[in-house]
Structure 1
Amino acid sequence: MSQTDTGVGRVDHRPAPGRAHPGPAAAGPPPYWTSRRRDQLTGYLFIAPQMVGSAVFVILPLILVVWYSLHEWNVLAGTFEFVGTDNYAALAEDTSLPSVLTATGLFSVGLVAFNLGLALLLAVLLNQRLRGTTLFRTLFFSPVVVSLVAWTIVWGFLLQDDGGINGLLDTVGVAGPNWLRGEGTAMVSVIVVQVFKNVGLNMVLFLAALQGVPAELYEAAEVDGASRARQFWRITVPLISPTILLTSIITVVGSLQVFAQIAVLTQGGPGTSTTVLVYYLYQQAFQFHHFGYGATLSIVLFAIVLGLTVLQWQMRKRWVHHES
């Protein structure tokens, strides 16, 4: 008789009553450096230079400006005194500030209107399939890459009383004004100089947007009998409205930060007719050594730029195509 028949030598593999069946060996802790964590670390390393740059050159200066605005800092005397909100109270007592804000508003409105209008007009003209458009695109864009100070100095010579522009006017029997010293011509002159300097950038942006408008829409509009003007307002403007928003924000912010043109051409004159907020800030801080009040004016400028940018961004929902 075999062992199988008698049961002798058989090993019972059944668990004893009351004892759980032993499972597989417990797994160790999961690895820390998973693929998700490695991807996150890679992303953080890529944005680290930008974050460090923003912290050092944007956030920290803003904090320091707020701190300086609460003090009166006299570099010549070597004093740095806490004055609280006295610098902010001085804003209401500054008799020059209303004229400075008025000049800033006039410059910004004039620059934005002429720059965007001329840039859009040039883009529409240069979007035509005509000979020589590449040359004109280069000519209109070339001032963008020219040094701002060099550009302004050349225009300063042209706009002098005996400069090139008045010389051309004399050839046709017209006596030109003193462009940079006249109450009514100084601001216009500065605006024109700035428009010709940067109109090429907005022109290129508009041109790229125009080339992205489908030609089929114009063909369908022509079949329906729509005029060129109606096609422009009903098709072109809505489809390039995102670019209009972008260029308007860039131009508005740039107009509020103008300094070199004023410093080189008019020095804020005649009187305070061209003294914009940035140049007035420079005068208070670096000419009159009122660094605390200058820091306060810079906060006012920051608040104006931030407010206008937020306002433009919120208004996009009404007039920007494809925005909800």
Structure 2
Amino acid sequence: MADATVTTPGRAPARPGAAPPRDPRPRRRWVPSYSTRDQLTGYLFIAPQFVGIVLFVLLPLVLIFWYSFNEWNVLAGTFRFVGTENFEKLMGDPKLAPVLQATGIFSAGLVVLNLGLALLLAVLLNRRVRGITVFRTVFFSPVVVSLVAWTIVWSFLLQDNGGINGLLQMVGVDGPNWLREGPTAMASVIVVQVFKNVGLNMVLFLAALQGVPQEVQEAARMDGASNRVLFWRITVPLISPTILLTSIITIVGSLQVFAQIAVLTQGGPGISTTVLVYYLYQQAFDFHHFGYGSTLAILLFAIVLVLTIAQWQLRKRWVFYEN
């Protein structure tokens, strides 16, 4: 019986045992759509930030929780599981209450002075006056200065025989030893930190003030509103989102201050300026109690988280543009 050949119209008959003919139509390659390419581009852009958050934020948080249930002494080379012993030590630590008190005083003083002075400077500099740019630059320049260099300079100025007391002696005033007496030491640290970062909040407030509609202010003036009423009833509500932002940044920053304390007072005199971050550093790196230091870090994380959530919830009551 003869082999049957299959023929296709327009093609030569296929020979028995031969490879099937190639399809003359070009193969369609997968080409990502514009939306897919945009998504891939977006993922590539956020990939470095995402990797950084995982490596330097999330992973350290997990390790801190793990270390808090252990006691790790680097000098002795010991690492042992202690359960909740570090948390029990935290509840019975006699120094914790003074440290939290110093932290609260420092944070409250820094937030009030920083935000108040920044808003005042922004209002004064929000004018079209010749040379106003120079003043803006002068007040913002400490923000870009090295933190350690700024603090070292102030440590010399605040010495018993430093520049501040030298100026006071010129007017017949015998100044105190600013960094060696409890009340003046805390006040000095707060003022140094305020002068360092007030320029940043000033710029944020200045940008917010320049965004306040002029027609709203003019309408209030035509209705007989004074400058005081205009500021508190019109300007402050309109810049309340910026006030919320600066308050969150300032409060969180005040709870993380370390270099100023380490350079100016080393937590003294006594423990009057020992804030929680510096106490954490002492326990972990001076006394090599990394487990207890991790427990203090968890306490600091909880305080920052609670304060941030509280501010975020209160925004619904006083921040403009919120429902």
- TM-score over 0.5 for the pair: yes
Q: 1:39 & 1:148 partners in 2: Cα distance?
A: 40
Shift of 1:220: 1.0
Q: 1:166 & 1:36 partners in 2: Cα distance?
A: 66
- Aligned residue for 1:223? 222
Residue 250 of structure 2 aligns to a residue whose secondary structure is helix
Shift of 1:157: 0.5
Q: 2:253 & 2:35 partners in 1: Cα distance?
A: 42
Alignment of 1:164-183 (within 5 A): 164-183=163-182
- Aligned residue for 2:98? 99
Q: 2:122 & 2:232 partners in 1: Cα distance?
A: 15
Residue 138 in 1 paired to residue 137 in 2? yes
Deviations 1:246-301 (A, max 9, x none): 10000000000000000000000011110000000000000011010001100110
Q: 1:183 & 1:51 partners in 2: Cα distance?
A: 44
Deviations 1:62-93 (A, max 9, x none): 11111111100011110000011110111111
Shift of 1:129: 2.0
Residue 130 of structure 1 aligns to a residue whose secondary structure is coil
**Normalising to structure 1: TM-score of the pair?**
0.89
Residue 107 of structure 1 aligns to a residue whose secondary structure is helix
1:56 alignment partner AA: L
Deviations 1:211-270 (A, max 9, x none): 001111111111111100000001110010010001000000000000000000000001
Residue 213 of structure 1 aligns to a residue whose secondary structure is coil
Q: 1:103 & 1:230 partners in 2: Cα distance?
A: 37
2:85 alignment partner AA: D
* Larger gyration radius, structure 1 or structure 2: 1
- Aligned residue for 2:243? 244
Shift of 1:312: 0.7
Deviations 1:291-320 (A, max 9, x none): 100011001101111111111111110110
- Aligned residue for 1:45? 44
The alignment's C-alpha RMSD in Å is 1.5
Cα pair distance change 1:35/1:223, threshold 3 Å: closer
Residue ranges of structure 1 left out of the alignment (5+ in a row): 1-27
Residue 246 of structure 1 aligns to a residue whose secondary structure is helix
Residue 185 of structure 1 aligns to a residue whose secondary structure is helix
Residue 183 of structure 2 aligns to a residue whose secondary structure is coil
CA contact 2:152–2:264 (8 Å) conserved in 1: yes
After the TM superposition, list the runs of 4 or more consecutive aligned residues in structure 1 that deviate by more than 4 angstroms.
28-36
1:153 alignment partner AA: I
CA contact 2:267–2:274 (8 Å) conserved in 1: yes
- Aligned residue for 1:128? 127
Q: 1:52 & 1:116 partners in 2: Cα distance?
A: 34
- Aligned residue for 1:82? 81
Q: 1:270 & 1:124 partners in 2: Cα distance?
A: 38
Q: 1:205 & 1:235 partners in 2: Cα distance?
A: 18
1:282 alignment partner AA: Y
- Aligned residue for 1:271? 270
Q: 1:36 & 1:237 partners in 2: Cα distance?
A: 42
Shift of 1:36: 4.3
1:271 alignment partner AA: G
Residue 273 of structure 1 aligns to a residue whose secondary structure is coil
Residue ranges of structure 2 left out of the alignment (5+ in a row): 1-26
- Aligned residue for 2:209? 210
Shift of 1:32: 8.7
